[in-house]
């Protein structure tokens, strides 16, 4: 039976260090990512793709703000929706091209995906997720006064808006994604962690000003679909202990229990690797087989055990640093 995997593509896969982030650059990077995913399809894997949208949603907010005098503005949840379509289009184009070049006439579809959150969660009273551009103190004070934004200072670059990052509770399009996957179609979904919404008792759906962590939401989707593996593409080649310290050590293979031990010791930063490890542990605890954490360039090698970090459910699996 074919193995199945959810591949969570990091934001750095489409806009790389040193790039301006032009559409041409993003299309070329999407094509490169598609080439690697096509190799997995050739090996018989069933694939679901999710992706980040950090730079793109920041640009969407900036465009909306600067055009406010001439066009209607977009709230954050609509910006997430537009970037899901934008990035999904680029990945879908790249995949359709690479699959046909490799002799696979397999459909690819992008799905706008909404994720239910709890409006009473404490995250809504303590926004922590930075989004959008940097502002001067004067401009930041105006945003606080006129738009009631929460702003935080970055001593080197100015002030930036922060929004809540609530836990994903339910993926509203889960069953649609499952049915499409069962038809042998490659699915691109849950961009940017999903469009955050609140579902009312009358079944109304309302978007909220928040950003859902991509890897936590991807773990929830992979679990809901019953997939074998979860691939987390990030900007480092593997997970490290004592990261960027003189005694830094890479983790090649480990159980979820072992990773949880070091998570509780504070080894993985809350703003970077921490949520990825939490998402990995959750996936394994809920029945997943393997999680692979690596850079986009080494994704294929990681799945074949030649690079990256493999987190597994198998209790007899020997930890390897």
Mean pLDDT of the chain: 92
- Which residues are marked as active site? 11-12, 129, 214, 276
How far from 278 is each of 65, 123, 259, 305, CA to CA, in Å?
Answer: 34, 17, 9, 21
Q: 0.85 cut: is pTM over it? A: yes
* Confidence at 15, pLDDT banded by 50, 70, 90: confident
DSSP H helices, the chain, are 23-42, 54-66, 76-101, 137-147, 174-182, 214-225, 256-264, 273-285, 299-303
Q: Would you say 187 and 109 are in contact if contact means Cβ atoms under 8 Å apart?
A: yes
Q: In the CATH hierarchy, which fold is given to the domain comprising 4-117+170-312?
A: Carbamate kinase (3.40.1160)
Unique residue bearing structure tokens 């609509």: 78
Task: Please choose, from the candidates 7, 35, 39, 1, the residue with its C-alpha nearest in 3D space to the C-alpha of residue 187.
Answer: 7
Q: Is residue 182 scored above 70 in pLDDT?
A: yes
- Average the pLDDT over 44-53 and give the result: 95
How far from 26 is each of 32, 34, 96, 206, 231, CA to CA, in Å?
Answer: 10, 12, 16, 31, 21
* Confidence at 147, pLDDT banded by 50, 70, 90: confident
- Average the pLDDT over 87-114 and give the result: 96
Ranking 6-10, 17-21, 249-253, 300-304 by mean pLDDT, the lowest is: 17-21
Instruction: For 308-318, write each residue's pLDDT tens digit.
Output: 999 998 765 55
Q: Which residue ranges make up each domain of the chain?
A: 4-117+170-312, 127-163
- Average the pLDDT over 214-238 and give the result: 96
Q: In the chain, what percentage of residues exceed pLDDT 70?
A: 97
Higher pLDDT, 2 or 65: 65
- Report the alpha-carbon distance of residue 207 to residue 199 in Å, rounded: 9
Q: In this structure, how many other beta carbons lie within 10 angstroms of the beta carbon of residue 64?
A: 19
Instruction: For residue 151, list its beta bridge partners.
Output: 161
Instruction: For 189-204, write each residue's pLDDT tens digit.
Output: 999 999 999 999 999 9
Q: Is residue 16 scored above 90 in pLDDT?
A: no
Q: Is residue 131 scored above 90 in pLDDT?
A: no
pLDDT of residue 319: 58
Residue 71 tokens, joined: 């066009």
- Average the pLDDT over 81-93 and give the result: 96
- Average the pLDDT over 173-184 and give the result: 96
pLDDT of residue 315: 61
Q: Is residue 294 scored above 70 in pLDDT?
A: yes
pLDDT of residue 321: 57
Instruction: For residue 187, list its beta bridge partners.
Output: 48, 109
pLDDT of residue 96: 96
- Average the pLDDT over 6-13 and give the result: 86
Q: Is residue 56 scored above 60 in pLDDT?
A: yes
Ranking 99-108, 302-311, 312-321 by mean pLDDT, the lowest is: 312-321
DSSP code per residue over 65-125: HHTTTTS----HHHHHHHHHHHHHHHHHHHHHHHHHHTT----EEEE--EEE--TTSGGGT
């Amino acid at each position: 039976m074919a193995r199945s995997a959810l591949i969570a593509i990091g934001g750095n896969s489409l806009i790389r260090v040193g790039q301006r982030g032009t559409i041409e650059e993003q299309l070329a990077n999407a094509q490169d990512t598609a080439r690697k995913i096509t190799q997995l399809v050739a090996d018989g894997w069933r694939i679901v793709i999710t992706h980040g949208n950090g730079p793109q949603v920041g640009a969407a907010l900036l465009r909306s703000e600067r055009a406010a005098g001439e066009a209607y503005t977009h709230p954050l949840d609509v910006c997430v929706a537009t970037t899901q379509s934008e990035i999904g289009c680029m990945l879908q184009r790249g995949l359709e091209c690479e699959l046909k070049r490799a002799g696979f006439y397999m459909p690819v579809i992008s799905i706008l995906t909404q994720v239910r959150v709890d409006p009473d969660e404490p995250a809504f009273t303590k926004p922590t997720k930075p989004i959008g551009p940097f502002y001067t103190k004067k401009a930041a004070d105006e945003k606080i006064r006129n738009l009631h934004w929460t702003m935080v200072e970055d001593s080197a670059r100015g002030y930036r808006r922060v929004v809540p990052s609530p836990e994903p509770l339910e993926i509203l399009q889960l069953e649609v994604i499952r049915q499409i996957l069962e038809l042998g179609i490659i699915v691109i979904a849950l961009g940017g962690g999903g469009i955050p919404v609140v579902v009312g008792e009358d079944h109304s759906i309302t978007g909220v000003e928040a950003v859902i962590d991509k890897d936590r939401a991807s773990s929830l989707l992979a679990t809901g679909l019953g997939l074998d593996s979860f691939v987390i593409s990030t900007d480092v080649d593997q997970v490290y202990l004592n990261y960027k310290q003189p005694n830094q050590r890479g983790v090649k293979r480990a159980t979820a229990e072992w990773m949880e031990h070091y998570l509780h010791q504070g080894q993985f930063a809350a703003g970077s690797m921490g949520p990825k490890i939490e998402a990995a542990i959750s996936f394994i605890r809920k029945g997943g087989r393997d999680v692979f954490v690596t850079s986009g360039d080494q994704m294929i090698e990681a799945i074949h055990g030649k690079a990256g970090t493999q987190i597994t459910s198998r209790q007899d699996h020997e930890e390897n640093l």
